[in-house]
């Protein structure tokens, strides 16, 4: 089975190539995580919808602490969530939730070529804490 860290690279590749296509990942615990990533037209950030089923978590944390300051907003069903030190705090722990959030990209983490874009998943991936 694939782990969320391994699939994050694939998700970034899929999101960069296909825009808002989503890919579901089943972890070893039977939990399912699905990230749908939409890159902004100006390539300055992303809108992410992260849905979790069977994952008990109380917050989402950035894959890399360097992205903490790039988090712009987070919500569930249009209700804003508290953000503390780059962490998205749920109002109450949940096993089934879809969290929407927006990030900005640091220019040093984003490269454009003639026909391609390379972006580290650490710029858009927030994961459940604790990990399943």
Average of per-residue pLDDT values in the chain:
77
- 3-class DSSP state of 17: helix
Instruction: Answer whether 0.75 is exceeded by the pTM.
Output: no
- State the Cα–Cα distance between residues 15 and 21, nearest whole angstrom: 6
Question: Which residue would you say has higher pLDDT here, 14 or 120?
Answer: 120
- State the Cα–Cα distance between residues 54 and 71, nearest whole angstrom: 25
Token code pair at residue 103 = 């990030």
Residue 111: what pLDDT? 62
Residue 99: what pLDDT? 95
pLDDT digits (tens, 9 = 90+) for 21-65: 454 444 456 778 899 999 888 888 899 999 999 877 889 999 988
Total domains, the chain: 1
- State the Cα–Cα distance between residues 21 and 111, nearest whole angstrom: 21
Range of the domain at 69: 4-129
**Burial class of 48 by CB neighbour count within 10 A (0 to 12, 13 to 18, 19+):** buried
Residue 1: what pLDDT? 40
């Amino acid at each position: 089975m694939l782990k969320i860290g391994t699939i994050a690279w694939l998700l970034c590749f899929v999101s960069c190539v296909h825009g808002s296509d989503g890919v579901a990942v089943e972890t070893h615990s039977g939990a399912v995580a699905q990230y749908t990533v939409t890159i902004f037209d100006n390539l300055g950030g992303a809108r992410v919808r992260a849905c979790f089923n069977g994952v008990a978590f109380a917050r989402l944390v950035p894959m890399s602490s360097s992205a903490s300051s790039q988090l712009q907003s987070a919500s569930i069903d249009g209700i804003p969530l508290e953000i503390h030190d780059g962490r998205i705090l749920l109002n109450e722990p949940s096993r089934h939730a879809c969290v929407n959030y927006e990030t900005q990209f640091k220019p040093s983490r984003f490269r454009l070529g003639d026909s391609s874009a390379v972006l580290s998943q650490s710029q858009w991936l927030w994961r459940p804490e604790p990990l399943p």
